[in-house]
């Protein structure tokens, strides 16, 4: 079954006709090929013959929508030979095997380039191959720790903590996707493919740009700020505040970034006199009197739900957001109507809400399809990509 996300342009997709060989697993690699599939590329996921367990696991299902699947044993000469045939007509091949696996399997840029100089070969690793850690295994939390993300996350007096979103996995997938798209564009001028490499630890380090203001400007490492803004100059109010009925996620995050926003907030909560109160009139004063300030905000928020607080402040021009949990998100009707959350069927799990593609383009559409069963399209792909004669030669 296919669920089409809303589009204002023609029926075609941006990457229609682009062929992608997907040798990825876990999350980082599949995130990249998922993005390409949502934008219309023909993404063919290669799995080991007879595999089934991954299909019944939700992580697989959530990361492999809109793809097709073929079964190939890359440890066999025949399986590699068939992969090389597909690579001859592919536009992109991407892998995120563990260190050294691609080389052992013979799936390298050099091997594929011999057969197809126009192929774009992308690799995702935990650590860059130029470093002494190149052979170390790495998952998202390892990359987040090494890149510095964990060091700035958590309470000021608490331990380093892994940020919740998959900055190392999905974040790296999104960044390598931009490299693949750039390489496809460059190929229209040069006719040549290229080798793209990205390390999760390197990528997360680039997500930390604003946080380098501390070591650059103040000569010390960026501290942990909890829910406050990690700026070198404190501001406020900037935190999460409890709201009625005081459940585990009944909070609103408020961030007043300047004096103008604070004046608007004081008016919105019915305390206009606080805008000129010498304890709170300036950013520095609010930072010095943060406990007294927070007590006032907590008192006001306790009379509101998190959505009431968000709407009251947001409509007044004050940055505020209700803290929503994952159940709130997948059940959000607005997200479903706009195709950000797309329900698709699963043989054993029933309806599964998949995360769609957030970019809207006036000239193309995004299509979200249920993920394939492992090896479901083996014969179909070989016939379409290689032609009936070569497909039949598989024996």
pLDDT higher than 60, residue 219: yes
Mean pLDDT of the chain: 92
Residues 340 and 314 in one domain: no
* 222 falls within a domain: no
* Average confidence (pLDDT) over 65-75: 95
Average pLDDT, integer, range 27-47: 96
Helix axes 28-38, 170-190, angle to 10 degrees: 50
Last residue of a domain, one of 275, 297, 322: 322
Q: How far is CA 299 from CA 112, 258, 324, 331, in A?
A: 64, 22, 21, 30
Domain end point (choices 267, 294, 322)? 322
CATH number for the domain that contains residue 257: 3.30.1540.10
Strand positions, DSSP E, 243-279 = 251-255
* Residue 133, domain member (yes or no): yes
Same domain for 51 and 170: yes
Contact 74, 97 (CB under 8 A): no
Is the residue at 341 inside a domain? yes
Tell how many helices (H) and how many strands (E) occur in the chain: 17, 13
Same domain, 89 and 123: yes
CA distance 263 to 272: 7
Looking at residue 392, its pLDDT comes to 62
Q: Is the pLDDT of residue 39 over 60?
A: yes
356: Cβ contacts below 8 Å, ≥ 6 apart: 5, 38, 339, 340, 341, 342, 366, 368
**Does residue 238 belong to any structural domain of this protein?**
no
CATH code for the domain of 382: 3.40.50.10540
C-alpha span between 275 and 296 (Å, rounded) = 13
Please indicate, yes or no, if residue 351 is contained in any of the structural domains: yes
Strand bridging mode 19-23 / 42-47:
parallel
Clarify whether residues 94 and 15 are in a common domain.
yes
Range of the structural domain that residue 41 is part of: 2-207+329-392
Same structural domain, 25 and 148: yes
Give which of 16, 17, 55, 37 is closest to 342, Cα–Cα: 37
Please tell me the total count of domains within the chain. 2
For residues 34 and 75, membership in a common domain is answered with yes
Identify the H or E element spanning 43. Answer: strand 42-47
User: For the ranges 57-66, 123-132, 231-240, 255-264, which has the lowest average pLDDT?
Assistant: 231-240
- The answer on 13 and 96 residing in a single domain is yes
Q: Is residue 243 part of a domain?
A: no
Active site residues: 169
Closest CA to 382 of 23, 44, 34: 44
Asked if 164 contacts 156 with a C-beta cutoff of 8 angstroms, the reply is no
Does residue 246 lie in a domain region? no
Could you report the per-residue pLDDT of 104-160, keeping only the tens digit for each? 999 999 999 999 999 999 999 999 999 999 999 999 999 999 999 999 999 989 999
Q: What is the pTM of this model?
A: 0.90
Judge if 338 and 382 occupy the same domain.
Answer: yes
Domain identity same for 355 and 255: no
Q: Which DSSP state fits 153?
A: S
Measured CA to CA, the distance from residue 256 to residue 140 in angstroms comes to: 32
| Phi/psi of residue 28, nearest 5 degrees | -60, -55
Q: What is the reported pLDDT for 330?
A: 92
Token digits of residue 372:
């394939």
**Where are the extended beta strands (E) located within 332-385?**
341-346, 350-355, 367-369
For residues 251 and 242, the answer to whether their CB atoms sit within 8 Å is yes
Does residue 274 sit in the same domain as residue 352?
A: no
How far apart CA 5 and CA 357 sit, in angstroms, is 8
Please tell me whether residues 335 and 200 are part of one structural domain.
Answer: yes
What's the rounded mean pLDDT across residues 224-228?
87
Together in a domain, 261 and 153: no
User: 219 in a domain, yes or no?
Assistant: no
Among residues 274, 299, 322, which one ends one of the domains?
322
pLDDT tens digits along 305-352: 999 999 999 999 999 999 999 999 999 999 999 999 999 888 878 888
């Amino acid at each position: 079954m296919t669920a089409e996300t809303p589009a204002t342009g023609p029926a075609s997709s941006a990457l229609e006709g682009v062929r992608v060989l997907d040798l990825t697993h876990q999350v980082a690699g599949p995130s990249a090929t998922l993005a390409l599939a949502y934008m219309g590329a023909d993404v063919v996921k290669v799995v080991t013959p007879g595999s089934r367990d991954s299909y019944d696991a939700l992580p697989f299902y959530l990361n492999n929508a809109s793809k097709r699947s073929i079964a190939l044993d890359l440890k066999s000469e025949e399986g590699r030979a068939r992969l090389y045939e597909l690579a001859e007509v592919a536009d992109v091949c991407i892998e995120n095997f563990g260190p050294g696996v691609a080389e052992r399997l013979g799936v390298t840029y050099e091997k594929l380039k011999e057969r197809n100089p126009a192929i774009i070969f992308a690799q995702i690793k935990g650590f860059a191959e130029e470093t002494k850690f190149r052979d170390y295994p790495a998952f998202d939390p390892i990359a987040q720790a090494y890149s510095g993300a964990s060091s700035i996350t958590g309470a000021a007096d608490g331990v380093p903590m892994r940020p919740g979103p998959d900055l190392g996995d999905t974040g790296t997938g999104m960044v390598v996707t931009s490299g693949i798209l750039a390489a496809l564009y460059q190929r229209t001028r040069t006719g040549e493919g290229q080798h793209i490499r990205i390390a999760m630890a390197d990528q997360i380090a680039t997500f930390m740009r604003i946080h380098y203001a501390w070591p650059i400007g103040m000569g010390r490492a960026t501290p942990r700020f909890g829910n406050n803004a990690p700026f070198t100059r404190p501001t406020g109010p900037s935190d999460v505040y409890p709201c009625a009925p005081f459940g585990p996620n009944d909070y609103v995050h408020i961030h007043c970034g300047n004096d103008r926003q604070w004046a608007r907030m004081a008016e919105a909560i019915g305390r206009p006199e606080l805008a000129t109160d010498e304890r709170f009139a300036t950013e520095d004063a609010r930072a010095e009197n943060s406990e007294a300030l927070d007590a006032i905000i907590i008192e006001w928020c306790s009379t509101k739900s998190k959505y009431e607080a968000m709407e009251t402040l947001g409509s007044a021009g004050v940055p505020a957001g209700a803290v929503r949990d994952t159940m709130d998100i997948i059940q959000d009707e607005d997200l479903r109507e706009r195709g950000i959350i797309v329900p698709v069927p699963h043989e054993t799990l029933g309806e599964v809400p998949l995360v769609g593609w957030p970019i809207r383009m006036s000239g193309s559409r995004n299509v979200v399809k249920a993920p394939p069963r492992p090896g479901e399209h083996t014969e179909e792909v070989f016939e379409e990509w290689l032609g009936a004669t070569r497909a039949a030669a598989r024996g």
